[in-house]
Amino acid sequence: MRRLTLFGLTLAATAAAAGTASAQQVNAQSWSGFYAGVNAGGLFGNTTTNDFGPAGPGGLSGSGGGFVGGVQGGYNYMFGPVLLGAEIDFQGSTYAAGLNGGGPLGPANATEYTPWFSTFRARGGYAFGSIMPYLTGGAVWGQRTLSGGGPGMPAFSASSTYWTWTVGGGIETKLAERWSAKVEYLYMGTPSTSLSPAGVGVSSETSSGNLFRVGLNFHF
């Protein structure tokens, strides 16, 4: 009788473990495949430029922020609970930064805008059932504009597209079989192309961006 009881308990424990493993596998598989969705959040950053105009050196610096919103799409591939994937997104932005400084011609101020940008990133994560923390990194492509002036210099403006890098991470959780929500942070580095107005000539620039956003995905 004791042996039968022990056998029964062992069989029940084995079945429970198998059921748990099966559920985890189903949850992991539910992350696989293509997905697309929407996102919204805020972008905050700072910029410092070194300008070498005809009258000598000068510079501008400042910080700003704005709203971002857009769409994203990607693909997840699962190795058990381990996720490897890729994601691309496109963002519209109201980001604006006030820059102040000047040079030998006198004080100057300007406003820097980022009307849009897009990121291309790899993702790596680990699925704990319906919750998946992940790390991400890749490239950023976008556009910036600069306009300003000062008492001792004429108005100036510049516009350019740029590339830079980004790294970050987030947490995504399943809301239902085909729906998930995420919270994400990305750090963005100095753009590859400096904003260089005619007659001012930016020689170097240091910039950084901090993107915080939430998103909603549909899994196909």
Tens of pLDDT, residues 209-218: 999 999 999 9
Helices (H), the chain: 2-29
Question: Which residue has tokens 């001792």?
Answer: 152
pLDDT at 123: 98
pLDDT at 203: 65
CB 71 within 8 A of CB 37: yes
pLDDT at 79: 92
d(CA 80, CA 70): 31
Tokens at 113, concatenated: 């805008």
Q: Which domains does the chain have, with CATH numbers?
A: 31-219 (2.40.160)
> If you compute the radius of gyration of the chain from its CA atoms, what whole number of angstroms results?
25
For residue 216, what are the CA distances in angstroms to 37, 65, 74, 81, 210? 5, 23, 13, 21, 20
Q: Report the predicted TM-score, pTM, of the whole model to 2 decimal places.
A: 0.82
DSSP string across 53-81? ETTEEEEEEEEEEEEEEEEEEEEEEEETT
Write out pLDDT tens, residues 187-210: 999 999 877 776 666 667 889 999
pLDDT at 20: 42
Please enumerate in sequence order all residues whose Cβ is within 8 A of that of 91, keeping only pairs 6 or more positions apart, or say none: 39, 68, 69, 70, 116, 117, 118, 119
CB 50 within 8 A of CB 39: no
List per-block mean pLDDT (blocks of 10 residues) for the chain, which spans 220 residues: 41 39 51 96 92 66 96 96 97 96 80 97 95 98 91 82 97 94 97 77 82 97
pLDDT at 22: 39
